[in-house]
């Protein structure tokens, strides 16, 4: 079984923002594989289904971004998964150009507070993550204002295409492994 977690903030006012691209990715997975996400459990909104022949739990933590590790820890413990091989975390990255993907199986939080909290709660940095580029903040912008803003209309087609790639990347990770997905999507 795999747990696929998309990071974001739970209130409707954050829907569609750069910081909630992880939630958007989980929604794209749910839509692509007909997995309803409606169960509230483990401090998250969950859906159970099958992707690439593998049982999966899709999760959107309801803890707010900076406390995402609380939900991820509960999911790992309850479903008795090995985070090194059975956890995928999807989140935004301001160091990547809008629409770029970067898949890794370990690494630091890179300044992302949600990832810092997950690493703290798991006690390690070895788990698969898919970073989705949301672009660097423009000069003069506050970082929080930038990541909590919606994508401009001219970037929306690139984001829709990126979410399709995330679906393909997750399917490949589950069927062929993270290395194959890294070779194709990085």
| Backbone phi and psi for residue 170, each to the nearest 5 degrees, phi listed first | -65, -45
- Rounded-to-integer distance, Cα 39 and Cα 29, Å: 16
- Average pLDDT for residues 117-142, to the nearest whole number? 95
CA torsion, ordered 116, 119, 121, 124, to nearest 10 deg: -160
Q: Is 16 exposed, middle or buried (0-12, 13-18, 19+ CB in 10 A)?
A: middle
- Average pLDDT for residues 146-170, to the nearest whole number? 95
Of 183, 160, 179, nearest in space to 32 by CA: 160
Q: Is 34 a catalytic residue?
A: no
Selected catalytic residue, list 19, 34, 38, 42: 19
- Rounded-to-integer distance, Cα 30 and Cα 7, Å: 15
Domains of the chain: 2-185 (3.40.50.1470)
- Average pLDDT for residues 91-100, to the nearest whole number? 95
60-81 pLDDT tens trace: 999 999 999 999 999 999 999 9
pTM: 0.96
CA-to-CA separations, 184 to 35, 126, 160, 180, in angstroms, rounded: 25, 20, 19, 6
Of 29, 40, 28, nearest in space to 2 by CA: 29
- Contacts of residue 172, defined as CB under 8 A and 6 or more positions apart, other chains included, come to 52, 180, 181, 184, 185
């Amino acid at each position: 079984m795999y747990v696929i977690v998309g990071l974001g903030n739970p209130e409707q006012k954050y829907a569609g923002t750069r910081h909630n691209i992880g939630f958007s990715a989980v929604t794209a997975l749910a839509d692509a594989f007909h997995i309803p996400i409606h169960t509230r459990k483990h401090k998250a909104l969950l859906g159970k289904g099958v992707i690439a022949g593998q049982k999966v739990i899709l999760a959107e933590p309801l803890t707010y971004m900076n406390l995402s590790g609380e939900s991820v820890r509960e999911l790992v413990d309850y479903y008795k998964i090995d985070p090194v091989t059975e956890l995928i975390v999807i989140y935004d990255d301001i160091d990547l150009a809008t629409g770029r993907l970067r898949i890794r199986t370990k690494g630091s939080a890179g300044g992302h507070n949600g990832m810092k909290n997950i690493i703290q709660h798991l006690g390690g940095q070895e788990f698969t993550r898919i970073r989705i580029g949301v672009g660097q903040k423009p000069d003069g912008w506050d970082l929080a204002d930038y990541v909590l803003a919606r994508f401009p209309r001219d970037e929306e087609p690139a984001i829709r295409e990126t979410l399709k790639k995330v679906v393909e990347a997750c399917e490949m990770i589950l069927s062929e492994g993270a290395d194959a997905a890294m070779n194709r999507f990085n």
